Amino acid sequence: MKRAILVANGEMLPGTALSTAWLPAHLVIAADGGARHCLALGLRPDIVIGDFDSLEPELLARLEAQGVTLLRYPSQKDETDLELAFLHALSRGVQEIIVLGALGARWDMTLANLLLPVQERFAALQVRFYDGNQEIRLLCGGQSLALQGQPGDTISLVPLCGDASGITTQGLEYPLAGEALPFGSPRGVSNVLLGTSAQINLSEGILACMHIRHQPTEGNTL
């Protein structure tokens, strides 16, 4: 599976490091100021994309001198810088996307970033958002999700864009058997992983599946 790491310009928790399970990636894309996060992680981006309103000319020149491709867009555009990164990754045949630095700081951008995978054109992509010990994935109707972790990890299921129905879970302390979570309901928050794996199936709607790891495991931590 062809994997890309996309690094946005949001907040990144102190002590963040790359997981060895993500490397080598076929493509590393920094969305504008996400290039700084790349440098802090010791990760050389293949491409920096955006309107470059968050990067100093000196840094851009240094990146270009290192052979990094700079794709500049006008500041007045319909897409966010991270959306442009998604589109470029899709055009390069990427199937899995790891997203870092997409959360925090500005909640308008956080919500917009998290909802990007809902777009029909990104439906075939496997997208994972990471923020410290937290992983977020979106599950759409007709899909299933297998989670790997440790007993005691927190699993939260939050419906987006309307009710989520036909939810069946295995491996969680509070199971669901073909049940619904109404939009706006916090009922699916703070479930618990019983063993090292869980399965979530969804018939209709969209679920944000949030996995908080309390004990770091190789391949799943930042």
Q: What top-level class would CATH report for the domain 133-222?
A: alpha beta
Distance of CA 84 to the CA centre of its chain: 15
pLDDT one-digit tens code per residue, 48-58: 999 999 999 99
CA 100 to chain centroid, in Å, comes to 7
Mean pLDDT of the chain: 91
pLDDT of 13 strictly over 90 = no
Q: What is the pTM of this model?
A: 0.91
Domain with CATH 3.40.50.10240 in the chain: 1-132, 133-222
Residue 44 or 215, more confident: 44
Domain range 1-132, CATH class: alpha beta
For residue 114, which phi and psi values (nearest 5 degrees)?
-65, -30
Which amino acid belongs to residue 187?
Answer: R
